[in-house]
Structure 1
Amino acid sequence: MSNAYPATAAGFDCDILTRLCRTVDQQAEVIGFSVVGGQAFGDGANKVSTAGRAELDLTFADGTMRRTVIKLCRPDIALQPLYRNEVAFYLLARPGLEVEAPQCLGAEFDEMSGTFALALEDLRVRGARFANVMSPVSLQELYALLDQLAMLHARYWQSSELTGRLAAIRPHTEGELHRFFMVLDAVPALVTSEIRTEQFKREIVEAIGTNDSGLYDAVLRTQHYQSSLDYTLCHGDCHIGNTYLLPDGGGLLDWQLTAWGRYIHDVTYLIITALAVEQRREVERDLISYYLDRLAHHGVTDGPDLDEAWYEHRLAANWCLYIGWLTTPITHYGWEISVCNIIRLATAVADLDSVALAKELPSAPSVI
């Protein structure tokens, strides 16, 4: 029997909301709700990429009320690996995790229908500000976000839990999410199409002296190389737009690409997208050094040194450009956010000589 979740707020009722909340609290009972907002793909807001949003005020039988943001599946494209993965994070890894991330009120992926719903606290109640490449981020705010990554990575550094109770979350180089992004007729075909049809993407890639196949090969080689190194749980998609800033710190949003792999995957993506090109050039090595200090502070005694981390930072930039933003249509986030992200990432790949560096690595097996 299918327990399909609606794609818009209009499809909810108290029974569906109760079922959703009982995935976290078996005693939960929603007795009333009101819709206070939301966003759907194609509504002109340029804020919806892989999931819609429904903003609801929930009333529970115990008398409590919660302002809730519910992530909903997009009905127009198949993104089930992302939905299944984020539900796994919130149900398996989020409980007890001290990292600043939204509290989950309910999460479920329905296998039969391929739909999902993820009910999260509305972070605006706590005064959260949502950053992106168009908004300034201070170094102090970036330090706070890097500290959150260090806490996350230290918690699961070489942890047996990743192959045990968290086994539903797969490595960067295995499983359906890896195939989704790396099988040639999947996301790489979309990247190729984007480069061919969007002139600014094509000319930026040409300007840094590479192409779609060169970037794909660089990502594949880098991931294969990283698979033999120390691993941890990674956010997986840690660009600045997947973070939030609080009066006393910051946190991490949108865990759809969470995977276990190499720490630098998160650190590199955050640094490059958070800072304008010139500032990034001036401080990126110092920021990596700060992250390593915080990693040690949070208990990792066998972490990399700065030279090792810098080498891996140079390699990691390839994924950030190729999968991170060349694959993203302008309709998802609008012109300015899309272009600014790609300029920051492409410039970093050129500055760090990332594609050429990856070519020095052994060839990687094909993804099938």
Structure 2
Amino acid sequence: MTGSLLAMSDGRPYPQRVGRLPRQLGAISAAWLTQLLQPCYPGIEVQALVVVEVRNGHTTKLRARLELNEVGQRAGIPSHVCLKSNWSEGFESGDICELESRFYHLTRAWSGAPLPATYFTDWDADGGGRGVVVMEDLGLAAGKFGHSTDHLGVDGVAQGLESLAALHAVTWVHPRLHRQVWLPVSMANPVDNDGLLRMYNYIKVNLGKDDYRQRLPRWIYETPELFSHAFDELAAFERAQVSPSCLIHGDSHQGNSFQRDNGQRIWLDWQLARRGRPWRDVAYFMLGALTIEERRAEGQRLLQVYREKLISLGAAGVLDQHAAWEQLRRWPVWGMQTWMSNMDDWGQSGLPMVERFFTAAEDFDTLRLLTRGRKPRRTPVLGEGARPLTPAYAHLLKD
């Protein structure tokens, strides 16, 4: 998708900045941050920048302690912040850093939304996909980062769904959202549509693991093209929807959230922000956070909890319970794809999620629902043209 944001761009927020955002961690310094912040905070000076922690994955999270002059202090920038960009070596993140920066720039005036505090955003808008966000350091905040395997229980999942409803309600059928031409439409962009094909080498690594073989259905080994067919039909189904849309997270598993001590769950890592229907977020969070037994017993009721909260916040035209459930039945395929391409040392545990989503697909009859009576829209060779494994994983792929 790199380049597409430039083609649809509204430009940079601070065009007076000279040069591109850096790609290397070594370029990050107090002097660089001073220069970056000055168009937004005239007269600011970062007198010292001490790196507290660096975490690299698809993006870089750099926790830093700052010494600021009086201008910075009066602006409300705290002494501890987190800088997000891509300063990692090896994994190219495409457009996601620019997309996330644009998202936080858009939401800076959303009071009360379940989001972290942000103090600055910028991006290059030159087709390179670079962006940077200066945000609160949640590592020092009162609360807990989520993890994919956290057991929330039914009540905890209900609270998480209400948080998603609060998020979705902010932009429900909002005309400003449709003017954000840089914001991808759910399942109508290459990152979404070709996710399974692009990440198939990572999927193949997991397919070869014994613990995955013990839990996965036989069809994924015997007729893997069914996976691609179902995924394409999910994308087509979503593109055909005409029900109200809103801004969705796009990757709403627990690991992309933080629960504050006051009980509020806020949502992080907005690299897959989309304009779309809310059921993608609802299904991805709910099916991943509930145990199989909890989902079978309480899934319908929890969907009702979400709907009622959304309606109570003023959303009009929300699908009725039956129609919403029919949406939910199709979305396990998204979670099947994302978790099958997960490498555990990226920070989240994939196998429990794989088991939950594949079991949900079986319970919901998802593959038949998507593919019955439909010819494949394309017949790709799985693995052909896929993103190469990074050097850390290349040895795991056996021909």
Residue of structure 2 aligned with 1:53, choices 50, 55, 61:
61
Give the gaps of 5 or more residues in structure 2.
1-17, 386-399
1:68-99 deviation line (CA, Å, top 9, x unaligned): 11223133122122222111111123432532
Three-state SS of the structure 2 residue aligned to 1:171 is coil
Partner of 2:198: 187
Three-state SS of the structure 2 residue aligned to 1:133 is coil
Three-state SS of the structure 2 residue aligned to 1:5 is coil
Partner of 1:353: 365
Residue of structure 1 aligned with 2:329, choices 296, 314, 319:
314
Distance 2:216 2:52 in 1: 42
Are the counterparts in 2 of residues 70 and 119 from structure 1 also a CA contact under 8 Å? yes
**Bigger CA radius of gyration:** 2
Task: Kindly report which structure 2 residues correspond to 1:33-52, keeping only aligned pairs within 5 A, or say none.
Answer: 33-40=49-56, 49-52=57-60
Deviation at 1:213, TM superposition (A): 2.7
Aligned partner of 2:257: which letter?
T
Distance 1:114 1:184, change over 3 A: closer
How high is the sequence identity, in percent, across the aligned residues?
20
Task: Kindly report which structure 2 residues correspond to 1:206-285, keeping only aligned pairs within 5 A, or say none.
Answer: 206-207=217-218, 212-227=224-239, 228-230=241-243, 231-248=245-262, 249-285=264-300
Residue of structure 1 aligned with 2:118, choices 104, 110, 113:
104
Q: Which moved more, 1:236-245 or 1:70-79?
A: 70-79
Q: Is 1:326 equivalent to 2:343 in the alignment?
A: no
Distance 1:96 1:20, change over 3 A: farther
Distance 1:86 1:114, change over 3 A: closer
Partner of 2:7: none
Distance 2:118 2:375 in 1: 41
Q: Is 1:70 equivalent to 2:86 in the alignment?
A: no
Aligned partner of 2:53: which letter?
G
Three-state SS of the structure 2 residue aligned to 1:206 is coil
How many residue pairs end up in the alignment?
352
Distance 2:129 2:287 in 1: 34
Partner of 2:163: 148
Distance 2:196 2:366 in 1: 24
Deviation at 1:194, TM superposition (A): 3.3
Are the counterparts in 1 of residues 114 and 266 from structure 2 also a CA contact under 8 Å? yes
1:16-40 deviation line (CA, Å, top 9, x unaligned): 2124445754564322222222223
Partner of 1:86: 100
Distance 2:162 2:97 in 1: 27
Are the counterparts in 2 of residues 229 and 262 from structure 1 also a CA contact under 8 Å? no
Deviation at 1:115, TM superposition (A): 4.0
Distance 1:28 1:141 in 2: 42
Are the counterparts in 2 of residues 234 and 263 from structure 1 also a CA contact under 8 Å? yes
Three-state SS of the structure 2 residue aligned to 1:80 is coil
- TM-score of the two chains, using structure 1 as the length reference: 0.85
Deviation at 1:195, TM superposition (A): 5.0
Alignment root-mean-square deviation, CA: 2.8
Aligned partner of 1:70: which letter?
L
Q: Is 1:12 equivalent to 2:28 in the alignment?
A: yes
Distance 1:363 1:263, change over 3 A: farther
Deviation at 1:209, TM superposition (A): 6.2
Aligned partner of 2:362: which letter?
A
Deviation at 1:15, TM superposition (A): 2.5
Partner of 2:392: none
Partner of 1:45: none
Aligned partner of 1:81: which letter?
D
Three-state SS of the structure 1 residue aligned to 2:339 is coil
Are the counterparts in 2 of residues 36 and 56 from structure 1 also a CA contact under 8 Å? yes
Aligned partner of 1:187: which letter?
R
Are the counterparts in 2 of residues 243 and 250 from structure 1 also a CA contact under 8 Å? yes
Q: Is 1:287 equivalent to 2:287 in the alignment?
A: no
Distance 1:103 1:7, change over 3 A: farther
Are the counterparts in 2 of residues 195 and 212 from structure 1 also a CA contact under 8 Å? no
1:149-196 deviation line (CA, Å, top 9, x unaligned): 1122222222222221x221110133xxx2134338952533553355
Partner of 1:46: none
Deviation at 1:294, TM superposition (A): 0.4
Partner of 2:393: none
Distance 2:137 2:373 in 1: 44
Distance 1:364 1:316 in 2: 18
Are the counterparts in 2 of residues 31 and 60 from structure 1 also a CA contact under 8 Å? yes
Three-state SS of the structure 2 residue aligned to 1:33 is strand
Distance 1:296 1:113, change over 3 A: closer
Deviation at 1:292, TM superposition (A): 0.2
Three-state SS of the structure 2 residue aligned to 1:96 is coil
Distance 1:147 1:99 in 2: 12
Distance 2:33 2:20 in 1: 12
Q: Which moved more, 1:274-283 or 1:130-139?
A: 130-139
Give the gaps of 5 or more residues in structure 1.
41-48
Aligned partner of 1:99: which letter?
A
Distance 1:159 1:173 in 2: 20
Are the counterparts in 2 of residues 131 and 137 from structure 1 also a CA contact under 8 Å? no
